[in-house]
């Protein structure tokens, strides 16, 4: 009989081959244009979004509804006989997914569903879900699984480069960069996500090559804090920076890395950034 399982959303960027190894269910976000929202990665793919952005269309996104979560929770509890669901969502500062899941939780008996705000995005969220899935496979207690997830929320690090702010400015999603608009147009920004779950500007680099070197430096600096790290490298349209980062990280003897996961960002993230996003998620390996 099934025990515990993980639910997360499609912004987590978890590769399909990894999803198959764990009791993880993905609830799709919505993305689209011309008034037509579609389910992320099910009904629409990143390439369609890039094409729409190139045509000057405004792309909209939406979190899963409470109804979407109720359908998923009901299937897992009633049809697949799971006894406990850990639902971890994209940062509540970036999406309504956490609120929707929290509303959906009220339709079920107390204690069956735990809803957790990851306070992060992309593979930082994905690595929490993956390690929680591994904890379930290894038979850890519910208290240990919850503690593991909270520990990872605290320690995971997200570092990313956005090659062009054209798309975020066009979509009105760069309010936090308002006072840096001159630099944002001329230079390459490095972003991170703070402990409050909001995207923040870390620094500017003069070009893409220097940005890659800085991302690598920050990755090594972060990984040195962990006895063993899991690293995920994510990218939009161009896999070149991801491959170069992988080469550099694998060649560094100052850190211990158990896994490097390379993944393409999902459609809903692409809608906000355009194709020129790439970066690294660093997680301590705790299980």
Same domain, 112 and 234: no
Domain match, 179 and 268 both: yes
How do strand 84-89 and strand 4-9 relate by DSSP bridges? parallel
End position of a domain, from candidates 155, 188, 206: 155
Indicate whether 141 and 167 sit together in one domain.
Answer: no
* Total count of domains within the chain: 2
Do residues 148 and 131 touch, judged by C-beta distance below 8 A? yes
For the cut 80, the answer to whether the pLDDT of residue 193 exceeds it is yes
Coil, strand, or helix at residue 85?
Answer: strand
pLDDT of 234: 96
pLDDT of 14 > 90? The answer is yes
- Residues 77-104: what's their mean pLDDT? 96
Residues 160-190 pLDDT 10s: 998 877 666 655 555 555 555 555 557 888 9
pLDDT, tens digit, for every residue of 37-85?
999 999 999 889 999 988 988 888 999 999 999 999 999 999 999 999 9
Q: What is the CATH number of the domain that holds 128?
A: 3.40.50.10170
Q: Give the containing element (helix H, strand E) for 180.
A: none
**Judgement on whether residues 80 and 209 belong to the same structural domain of the protein:** no
Q: Are residues 139 and 42 in the same domain?
A: yes
By the 10 Å C-beta count (0-12 exposed, 13-18 middle, 19+ buried), 48 is classed as middle
What pLDDT score was predicted for residue 185? 59
End-to-end CA distance of the chain: 23
Tell whether 163 and 145 lie within a shared domain. no
pLDDT at 182: 58
Q: Are residues 200 and 148 in the same domain?
A: no
CB 62 within 8 A of CB 43: no
DSSP for 22-61 reads TTEEEEP-EEEETTEEEEBTTTB-HHHHHHHHHTTPPPEE
Confidence (pLDDT) at 164: 73
Q: pLDDT band at 8, cuts 50/70/90?
A: very high
Is 28's pLDDT higher than 70?
yes
Distance between CA atoms of residues 201 and 199, nearest Å = 7
273: helix, strand or coil: helix
Residue 15's beta-bridge partner residues?
none
Last residue of a domain, one of 114, 140, 155: 155
Both 150 and 229 in a single domain? no
* pLDDT tens column, 142-167: 999 999 999 999 999 999 998 877 66
For 142, the domain range is 4-155
Residue 280 φ then ψ, to 5°: -135, 140
- Statement to judge: residues 116 and 145 lie in one domain: yes
Which tens digit of pLDDT belongs to each residue from 207-246?
999 999 999 999 999 999 999 999 999 999 899 999 999 9
Q: For 124-134, write each residue's pLDDT tens digit.
A: 999 999 999 99
The token pair that represents 262 in the structure block? 């390379």
The answer on 219 and 173 residing in a single domain is: yes
Domain identity same for 26 and 142: yes
Is the alpha carbon torsion for 248, 252, 254, 258 positive or negative? positive
CATH of residue 198: 3.30.1180.10
**DSSP class per residue in 216-250:** HHHHHHHHTTSSSEEEEEEESS--HHHHHHHHHHH
**Residues 266-283 pLDDT 10s:** 888 888 888 888 999 999
Chosen domain end from 155, 180, 210: 155
Query: Got the DSSP string for 61-84?
Result: EEPPPHHHHHHHHHIIIIIS--SE
Q: What pTM did the predictor assign?
A: 0.93
164 and 95 share a domain? no
């Amino acid at each position: 009989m099934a025990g515990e399982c993980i639910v997360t959303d499609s912004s987590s960027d978890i590769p399909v081959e990894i999803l198959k190894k764990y009791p993880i269910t993905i609830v799709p976000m919505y993305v689209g244009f011309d008034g037509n929202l579609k389910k992320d990665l099910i009904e629409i793919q990143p390439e369609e979004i890039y094409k729409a952005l190139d045509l000057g269309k405004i792309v909209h996104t939406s979190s899963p509804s409470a109804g979407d979560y109720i359908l998923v929770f009901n299937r897992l509890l009633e049809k697949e006989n799971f006894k406990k669901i850990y639902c971890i969502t994209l940062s509540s500062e970036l999406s309504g997914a956490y609120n929707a899941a929290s509303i959906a939780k009220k339709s079920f008996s107390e204690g069956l569903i735990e809803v957790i705000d990851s306070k992060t995005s992309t593979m930082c969220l994905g690595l929490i879900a993956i390690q929680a899935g591994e904890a379930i496979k290894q038979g850890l207690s519910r208290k240990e699984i919850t503690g593991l997830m909270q520990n990872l929320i605290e320690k995971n690090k997200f570092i990313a480069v956005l090659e062009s702010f054209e798309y975020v400015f066009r979509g009105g999603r760069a309010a936090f960069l308002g006072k840096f608009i001159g630099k944002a147009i001329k230079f390459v920004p490095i972003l991170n996500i703070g402990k409050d779950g909001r995207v923040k500007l870390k620094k500017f680099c003069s070009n893409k090559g220097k940005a890659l070197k800085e991302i690598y430096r920050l990755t090594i600096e972060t990984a040195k804090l962990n006895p063993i790290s899991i690293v995920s490298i994510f990218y939009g349209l161009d896999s070149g920076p991801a491959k170069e980062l992988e080469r550099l990280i694998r060649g560094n003897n100052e850190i211990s890395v158990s896994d490097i996961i390379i993944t393409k960002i999902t459609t809903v993230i692409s809608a906000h950034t355009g194709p020129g996003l790439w970066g690294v998620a660093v997680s301590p390996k705790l299980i």
